[in-house]
Structure 1
């Protein structure tokens, strides 16, 4: 890992909170992700399952965590399994966690080699009544790949059919949505790295550069600051490419007079940031571009003020839609007849702003959080309104990451990243 060591107190607290929400006499099990093959002997870079990472800090494949708060054997209340390492593995693959290093990382005192899992699990299962399995119930989840967790769950339920079954995910959705101060510091670091990358490209952009050249500049700056790289697939969309919401080809040349929409950000220690900015290729907005830009920025500022404890997700998006409608009327993109005749299930503003304004962010870019429950302090949300006008050849999106506060307006983790149109022009022309 490139990132600095994280205080194990975070994981001790996370496990304590999870255990407090479990049923009596129950055992919860969490698995690492697979290392996924590409072809021949090639594999994709390993990405740890966020749940075992959240509860243990172990950022290594083939690891298993078991939590059994009521276990009569006190040594088996928190158990971590890691793959046995040796000198041969260290030479070919690099050092893996020893039992001592696993303890230091996670704060878990009982660490076994993975080969002992079935034997230890047999003893633990004889004490417990309920098994917690970890299914993916995120509202955006849509995958056909069978994960290591899926395979383990099939095996576990076949092996121990007499046990009751419960779900870990609802507990984790609530816990992971509320960030610890240590997590907020890690997310701030990701945002600060993103800031460095964005300022770098403001000095680099000029007519004739290619979108992929800008991507390379960003990656360079992110990695040199201890990030693995992009928090998600980067969008660097010049001209009309900005009107394709998930444009990721990044293979076009940037032309004078066009805008470039960026949706690109760094991760740090597996925590994500999520930034959108839109800048002029030539260093100066046209009057029309600036008017639309300022409208989007106004909606973003007003939407941010709504992210306070007690706000309901659906009501928030309705209100943001009203703010956007007002701006689109001022820009002449909508008229009163459009509003009067709109379909309430797809309001008129959706012609120009068709996506949501906010989502949770944390260990995942679209992080855990139950959207039917009111917002609360230390939730972290993106705020990302946009206006997309294919007929005029540009689209504008602006996005920051903000932390809901117990009192007052949210704190913007990206408050230092240039966003005002005049500020961006001054930097690019300076």
Structure 2
């Protein structure tokens, strides 16, 4: 991995938090992701399952974590099962984790090779009543591929049908949504790398560059700063393309007079950042572009102040909608008559701002969190309002990442990334 070693105290703390929520006489099992095939002998780059990483720090395929707090044998209370490394693997793929290195990474003393898993699993399954299994229950999940976890769940229930099976997700959804200081530091590092990429792009962008060239500038700066790469598929959308919310082709030429919407974030230590900036191809905003930009900016600043403990996410979005409605009236995009006749289930402002303002962020760009429960200190949320005007070939979105505080306004982890029109123009015209 490119990123520097993470102090294993973070993962020790995370396991203690998870263990404290388990029912008595229970164990929990977590699997790594698969390496996914493309065709022939080609595969996608490995990306670790965030739950096993959150609990162990292990960033390697074919790994299994078992947590069994009340195990009769002390060595069975926390166990890592790893693919056994050898000289052949070291030559062809690079050395995998040794037992010693796995302990340094995770703080787990009991490390076994995968060949021992079935034997150990049988022994500990005879000693417990409840088994926590890990399923994907994220509110945006839409997965058709059978995962390594899915296959394990099928096997476990078939082989051990008499046990009571429980879900890890309700525990993880709450634990992962509130970040430890070490996690905030890792997200801040990812944001700092994103800043470096953005400043590079401000210096690079000019009329007739291609969207993919801007993407290349970002990944160059990310990689040279130890990033895992993009935290999500980057959006580099110039002109009309900015009105396509998930535009990822990044294959058009950037024309003089257009705005480029860039939704880009680096990943560091598997923790995400999520930034959006909208800049003029020419280095100078038109008056109309300034008006729309500043409207979005005002909504963003006001929305960020609402990220305080005990706020309900749905209520927050209603209030942001009211702010956006007034801005759209000011821009001449909506009239008071439009508001009077709007459908309450799809307010008039949704014509120009059709997505949500904020989502949890952390190990996943759209991170774990139960949106029906009040916001709490330590949660990290994006704030990303936008105005999209297809008939003007104009789309502007602005986005930063914020940490909710117990008292006062949230901390903006992207406070150093240029945002104001004057700064952006100055940097583009140096």
Normalising by the residue count of structure 2, what TM-score does the alignment of the two structures yield? 1.00
Partner in structure 1 of residue 114 of structure 2:
114
Cα deviation code 1:9-64 (max 9, x no counterpart): 00000000000000000010000000000011000000000000000000000000
SS of residue in 2 equivalent to 1:13: helix
- Secondary structure (helix, strand or coil) at the match of 1:189 reads helix
Partner SS state of residue 127, structure 1? coil
Alignment-derived partner of residue 196 in structure 1: 196
Note the C-alpha offset of 1:288. Answer: 0.6
Aligned equivalent of 1:407: 407
The residue matched to 1:62 in structure 2 has which SS? coil
Give the whole-Å Cα distance in 2 for the aligned partners of 1:103 and 1:285.
54
| Residue 270 (structure 1) aligns with | 270
Query: Which residue is 1:305 aligned to?
Result: 305
Identify the residue that residue 224 of structure 2 maps to in structure 1: 224
TM-superposition CA deviations, 1:340-391 (whole Å, max 9, x none): 0000000000000000000001000100000111000010000000000011
RMSD value over aligned CA atoms? 0.5
Shift of the alpha carbon at 1:422?
1.1
Displaced runs of 4+ in structure 1, greater than 6 A? none
Stretches of structure 1 that go unaligned for 5 or more consecutive residues are none
Cα distance per residue 1:175-203 (max 9 Å; x no partner):
00000100110000000000000000100
1:127-172: CA deviation from partner (whole Å, max 9, x where unpaired) = 1000101010000000100000000000001111110010000100
Partner of 1:233: 233
User: Secondary structure of the residue that 2:66 maps to in structure 1?
Assistant: strand
Q: Secondary structure at the match of 2:75?
A: helix
Aligned-residue offset at 1:72: 1.6
Deviation at 1:71, TM superposition (A): 1.2
SS at match of 2:3: coil
Using the alignment, how far apart are the partners of 1:254 and 1:338 within structure 2? 34
Alpha-carbon distance between aligned partners in 2 of 1:123 and 1:75, rounded to the nearest angstrom: 13
Task: Give 1:360-371 correspondences, 5 Å limit.
Answer: 360-371=360-371
For 2:98 and 2:21, how far apart are their aligned partners in 1?
30
Matches within 5 A, 1:163-202: 163-202=163-202
The equivalent residue for 1:86 is 86
| Whole-angstrom CA distance in 1 between matches of 2:393 and 2:133 | 49
Instruction: Tell me the number of residue pairs that the alignment of Structure 1 and Structure 2 aligns.
Output: 430
Who is 1:141 aligned against? 141
- Which residue of structure 2 aligns with residue 160 of structure 1? 160
Equivalent position SS for 2:213: helix
CA distance in 1, matches of 2:102, 2:428: 47
Corresponding residue SS for 2:126: helix
Q: How far apart, CA to CA, are the structure 2 residues paired with 1:403 and 1:203?
A: 29
Task: Give me the whole-angstrom Cα distance separating, in 1, the residues matched to 2:299 and 2:266.
Answer: 25
- The answer to whether 1:357 aligns with 2:357 is yes
Name the counterpart of 1:331: 331
Determine the structure 2 residue equivalent to 1:342: 342
Tell me which residue corresponds to 1:130. 130
